[in-house]
Amino acid sequence: MSKHYLKWPVTSAELEALAALATEEERAFFRRNPHLVGAYRDRLLAVALCQGAALQFLGRGYGVNDFDVHFFYARNPAKPRLARTVKRTWASVGAFPNIAVDFVRTIVPRFNGSTRNEPVKAIQDFLRARPTPNASHLAEKAVIGLLPRQLLAATIWPAA
């Protein structure tokens, strides 16, 4: 089955809607996984729109099939991995009615001295180093900030 791409622009309205959905999903994730609260709840670096919809926001895309929202966490040495699960939901996102939104959790190891106090640098270093297939895949397109609020609409990748 071929993918259907909507050629609509992704605007700040969609980013705001995705940020709200991500906030609720983050709460729900830790309600569903209370055993991870201590290990990861306070290690969130950023939440970002990734892949094709992020390119569409930058005006360089080929349409939107779904919205890929990644939660980037600083690696916890005591629990260095999370299950690679994608949580898919369907929601109205700005002008996009009833579209798939995939929530993905990504662990970011420390690179080149980047710290949790420098979330953009940590994510950029991770994408530049491409230590995992996921990082390589993400680095092929774009990453646009959603949360925290000061990163909303910021281009995290490609790095300037």
115 within a domain of the structure (yes/no): yes
Mean per-residue pLDDT, 50-73 = 96
Note if the bond before 133 is cis, omega within 30 degrees: no
CB 102: neighbour CB atoms within 10 A?
15
Please tell me the distance from the alpha carbon of residue 30 to that of residue 141, in angstroms, as a whole number.
Answer: 29
Mean per-residue pLDDT, 81-100 = 92
45 within a domain of the structure (yes/no): yes
What is the layout of strands, in order, in the sheet containing 96-108? 86-93, 96-108, 67-74, 44-50, 143-147, 155-157
3 within a domain of the structure (yes/no): no
- The structural domain count of the chain equals 1
Q: What is the pTM of this model?
A: 0.94
Label residue 113 by pLDDT band (50, 70, 90): low
54 within a domain of the structure (yes/no): yes
108: its two tokens: 């970011």
Q: What percent of the chain clears pLDDT 70, i.e. is strictly above it?
A: 94
- Cβ neighbours for 17, distance < 8 A, ≥ 6 positions apart: 91, 92, 93, 94
1 within a domain of the structure (yes/no): no
6 within a domain of the structure (yes/no): no
Tell me how many degrees the CA angle 20-66-89 measures, rounded to the nearest 5. Answer: 55
Q: Kind of pairing, strands 143-147 and 44-50?
A: antiparallel
49 within a domain of the structure (yes/no): yes
Is the pLDDT at 160 greater than 60, yes or no?
A: no
- Give the tens place of pLDDT for each residue, 126-144: 999 999 999 999 999 999 9
**β strands within 9-142, DSSP E:** 44-50, 67-74, 86-93, 96-108
Boundaries of domain holding 107: 12-157
Is the pLDDT at 124 greater than 80, yes or no?
A: yes
Contact criterion met (CB below 8 Å) for 142 and 54: yes
60 within a domain of the structure (yes/no): yes
Mean per-residue pLDDT, 80-103 = 92
